[in-house]
Amino acid sequence: CVCKVAPNSKDYHIQDVNRAGGIMGILKELADAGLLDTSVYRADGLTLAEAINKYDITKEVPDDEALDIYSSAPGNKRNLVMGSQNARYKELDSDRQNGCIRSVEHAYTKDGGLAILKGNIAQNGCVVKTAGVDESVWKFTGNAKVFHSQDDACMGILKNEVVAGDVVVIQYEGPKGGPGMQEMLYPTSYIKAKRLGEKCALITDGRFSGGTSGLSIGHISPEAAAGGNIALVRDGDTIEIDIPNRTINLKISDEELNNRRAEEEAKGENAFKPLRNRRVSQALQVYSHFVSSADKGAIRII
């Protein structure tokens, strides 16, 4: 990971990427480490190598065009053309050791910004944005606080039902269960607002945006509505998350897990369905019958 900005960094924001050389600056560091094929052509006719050199602000004599583009600062007014306002940075950020964009040698982390975890809650995997997780909670064990919807989870967090050490479990928000796999933005925002961002975890079969931070784990597959084990989690269960070893597990015996599944399946037509009232359009009802799990891309299977 050679670049981090808010909410994954307290020091840098998106405008700092531009001051440090923009996307071309990031590509240069990857190219210097031999991680890119720079012989490919761009739409403007330049090879990637030529473009990187043209817009490189770290070389001894940067091109005037590059200096003009990357010294463009926020002008506090709407504009469609970068640099069309008069605001300019006094100096650019070319520090590749401690700056916003770093060399591979001085990378924030040697791993990428995402990790796939697997375990008895997510046999087919789930996704965590490690770039947004403080390393102090890369290993986390907590007690489950279960909700059947994003709305219920939000109310629980705002009413202080979620405390330090809890793992918020949001079930039935996956592609089939939602249906539609909506973004779980509000619960993570409220957890952060309650100053629990480094004291709690959140797991769900729903999804997250790129703006999510904290120990937020989504895309759990199989999802609850498809009979996934996340549907069998109950309040108070112990959940163990281990990012370094890429595991996530519900700490109950296989016998107990099987008993819970038998209990759920005994509900017949009501098995693996959420306890909530939600109006669902006919189009989404049809979608829910054909959609695949998140680990298969949440595409329709026809």
Render 234-266 in DSSP notation, one character per residue. Answer: -TT-EEEEETTTTEEEE-S-HHHHHHHHHHHHT
Query: Are residue 253 and residue 212 in the same domain, yes or no?
Result: yes
Query: Are residue 47 and residue 139 in the same domain, yes or no?
Result: no
Indicate which residue of 9, 209, 216, 253 is catalytic.
209
Between CA 58 and CA 185 the distance in angstroms is 37
Query: Are residue 178 and residue 292 in the same domain, yes or no?
Result: yes
End-of-domain residue from the set 88, 109, 130: 109
Query: Are residue 221 and residue 159 in the same domain, yes or no?
Result: yes
Query: Are residue 139 and residue 284 in the same domain, yes or no?
Result: yes
Judge whether 70 lies within some domain.
yes
- Count Cα atoms within 13 angstroms, Cβ side, for 38: 16
Cβ density class 94-118: b for 16+ within 10 Å, e for less: bebeebbbbbeeeeeeeeebebebe
Query: Are residue 255 and residue 127 in the same domain, yes or no?
Result: yes
Mapped onto helix, strand or coil, the DSSP state of residue 167 is strand
Report residue 183: phi and psi, to 5°: -75, 135
Between CA 121 and CA 264 the distance in angstroms is 16
Between CA 167 and CA 174 the distance in angstroms is 18
Between CA 166 and CA 160 the distance in angstroms is 11
Judge whether 302 lies within some domain.
no
Based on the residue annotation, tell me whether 209 is a catalytic residue of this protein.
yes
Between CA 190 and CA 132 the distance in angstroms is 16
Judge whether 262 lies within some domain.
yes
Number of CB atoms found within 10 A of residue 80's CB: 5
Query: Are residue 181 and residue 221 in the same domain, yes or no?
Result: yes
Counting every residue written for the chain, the total comes to 302
Beta strands in the chain, from DSSP E residues, in sequence order? 115-117, 125-128, 139-147, 166-170, 201-204, 215-221, 238-242, 247-250
Q: Report mean pLDDT in 10-residue bins for the chain, 302 residues.
A: 88 94 97 96 97 96 93 80 80 96 92 91 95 90 97 97 97 95 92 93 92 89 96 98 97 97 95 90 91 91 81
Between CA 140 and CA 145 the distance in angstroms is 15
Query: Are residue 184 and residue 231 in the same domain, yes or no?
Result: yes
pLDDT of residue 101: 97
Which residue type, as a one-letter code, is found at position 298? A
Q: Left (φ > 0), alpha (ψ -120 to 50) or beta: where does 21 sit? A: left
pLDDT of residue 83: 67
Judge whether 41 lies within some domain.
yes
Judge whether 301 lies within some domain.
no
What pTM does this model have?
0.80
CATH number at residue 201: 3.50.30.80
Judge whether 40 lies within some domain.
yes
Judge whether 34 lies within some domain.
yes
End-of-domain residue from the set 109, 136, 156: 109
Domain that holds residue 185: 115-296
Query: Are residue 6 and residue 123 in the same domain, yes or no?
Result: no
Judge whether 17 lies within some domain.
yes
Query: Are residue 123 and residue 259 in the same domain, yes or no?
Result: yes
| Contact in structure between 181 and 174 (CB atoms under 8 Å) | yes
CA 153 to chain centre: 18
End-of-domain residue from the set 91, 109, 127: 109
Number of domains in the chain: 2
Tokens of 289: 């019958």
Q: State which H helix or E strand residue 29 sits in.
A: helix 22-32
